[in-house]
Amino acid sequence: MKICFIMYPWDRVDPETDTTLRLIHECVKRGHTVAISTIHNLTIRDSVASAFCDVFTKAQKCPENIVTFYKSAKFKRTPLPLAGFDSIIMRANPPLDALALNFLDSVKGDTFIMNDLDGLRIANNKIYTASFQDTASEFIPATHVSKNRDYLERIFDESESDRMILKPLDGFGGRGVIVLEKSARQSFRSLLDFYIGGDEHGKGSNYVILQDYVPGAEQGDVRILMLNGEPIGAMKRVPALDDVRSNVHAGGTVVKHKLTAQEKRLCKYIGPKLVRDGLYFTGIDVIGGKLIEVNVLSPGGIVRINKLNRTRLQTQVIDFVESVVHAKELVVSRKSQFRQVIEDANAF
C-alpha cells in the first residue's frame, strides 16, 4: 500500500510523544511505501495535484524502537502525484489552511483521505459541537458563539452559574482558555475587547466562545480517541496546580481512565455523525460526561494511552485504513470483472 502523511515538518516531531510518528512507524513496519509532506509542499503541475514528498527508503529491517526509527530515518525527496496514493492521512496541526485543501479536492475520489476534506472544513473549529443538536444539554454544555460584545455580556449576566468559560474560536492546545468569575464582572468587557479585537466597524474581529462551566472541570478532562465512530482508548488529563487547562502542553499530567457509563452514551450519541462527516479518527475532550471539543486535524494521545494501558492503538488505526483501501480495491476489481462479462457477451 502507498500512504502519504500530510503533516508538520519532520524536524518538529517529538519522538517520545508524537502520535503521527507512531502511525508512520506502523506503516513502515508493515512494508508499505510511506511518504511525508506538508501543507506548504502541495502543488499543481500540468493540472495534476502533487506534493513534494520525502519518501522513506526501505531498509532491511525497521527498528522497533521509535526514537531509533526517527533518528535513523532516511528519505528521498521527489514530487509525486497525490492520486497515486492509496491513502492520504491528514495530520497537519491547527489552524486549518482551508485553501490548501483545495489542492486535494481533485483526488478525493481516487484516494482514501483520513480525515475527509469536507469533514475537516466543517469541524476544524469549536462550533462543530453545536451541530450535534443537543438542545437538552445532556451531552454538550450550553455554548454561545459571537463577536457581539453586548450580546455576550448579556449572556454572562443572565447565566445562573457563578462561572463561565471564555475561549477563542480557533484556539488549540488549551491556549486562551480562561474561567470567568461573576465576582470579576468589571473585567469582562476588557477581556472581550482583547479576544474579539477589530476596529469600530468590526473589521479584523474574531469570534469567541462563551460556554457554561461544567462542574468538575478543575479536576481535569478526559481525552477519548474515536476510530470509525467507536472509542478505542482514553486517558484523564489533570491540570497543573492553579491552572484550569488540562492539556499536557499546558503543564497537565495524565492518568489511566476507564470510560464511565455516561461517557459511553456520549460516544454512542456522537459516533454516527462523526462517521457521516468522514471524521474517522478524532480525539474528543470530555468533562463530566459532556463534550467540550472535537479534535479532527491531528488528534494526539496514542503514546500516553498506550503506556497507561499497555496497548498499541496505532495498529487499530492502520488496520482500519487498510480495510477501507482493500474495500475500495474490491469494488474496482468487481466493476472491472463485470465490464469484461458485458464485453464478452457483446462479442457474440
The answer to whether the predicted template modeling score (pTM) of the entire model surpasses 0.95 is no
Note whether residue 24 is domain-resident.
yes
Are residues 205 and 166 both part of a single domain? yes
Note whether residue 201 is domain-resident.
yes
Note whether residue 281 is domain-resident.
yes
Compute the average pLDDT of residues 113-122.
96
Tell me what pLDDT residue 147 has: 93
Residue 44's φ and ψ, nearest 5 degrees, are: -125, 125
Tell me what pLDDT residue 335 has: 86
Note whether residue 159 is domain-resident.
yes
Are residues 277 and 260 both part of a single domain? yes
Are residues 92 and 153 both part of a single domain? no
Are residues 44 and 107 both part of a single domain? yes
Tell me what pLDDT residue 342 has: 87
Rg of the chain's alpha carbons, rounded to an integer? 23
Are residues 72 and 151 both part of a single domain? no
Q: Residue 60's CB: how many other CB atoms inside 10 A?
A: 4
Measured CA to CA, the distance from residue 6 to residue 58 in angstroms comes to 19
Q: Which of 213, 235, 267 is the last residue of a domain?
A: 213
Q: What mean pLDDT, rounded, does the chain reach?
A: 91
Are residues 208 and 223 both part of a single domain? no
Are residues 81 and 146 both part of a single domain? no
Are residues 35 and 104 both part of a single domain? yes
CATH number at residue 199: 3.30.1490.20
Note whether residue 331 is domain-resident.
no
Are residues 209 and 288 both part of a single domain? no
Note whether residue 124 is domain-resident.
no
Q: Which of 195, 213, 231 is the last residue of a domain?
A: 213
Please provide the DSSP assignment of 186-244 as one string: GGHHHHHHHHH---TT-TT---EEEEEPPTTGGG-EEEEEEETTEEEEEEEEEPPTT--
CATH number at residue 271: 3.30.470.20
Are residues 9 and 106 both part of a single domain? yes
Counting residues of the chain whose pLDDT is more than 70, the rounded percentage is 94
**And the C-alpha cell for 307?**
503506556
162 is in which domain, residue-wise? Answer: 142-213
Q: How many domains does the chain have?
A: 3
CATH number at residue 32: 3.40.50.20
Q: Which of 71, 98, 114 is the last residue of a domain?
A: 114
Tell me what pLDDT residue 8 has: 96
Note whether residue 137 is domain-resident.
no
pLDDT at 126 over 60: yes
Are residues 16 and 88 both part of a single domain? yes
Please provide the DSSP assignment of 126-181 as one string: GGGGGGG--TT-SSS--EEEES-HHHHHHHHHH-SSSEEEEEETT--TTTT-EEEE
Compute the average pLDDT of residues 212-228.
91
Note whether residue 347 is domain-resident.
no
Q: Which residues of 1-12 are buried (b: 16+ CB within 10 A; e: fewer)?
A: bbbbbbbbebee
- The predicted-structure confidence for 30-62, as pLDDT tens digits, reads as follows 999 999 999 999 999 889 999 999 999 987 789
Are residues 186 and 227 both part of a single domain? no
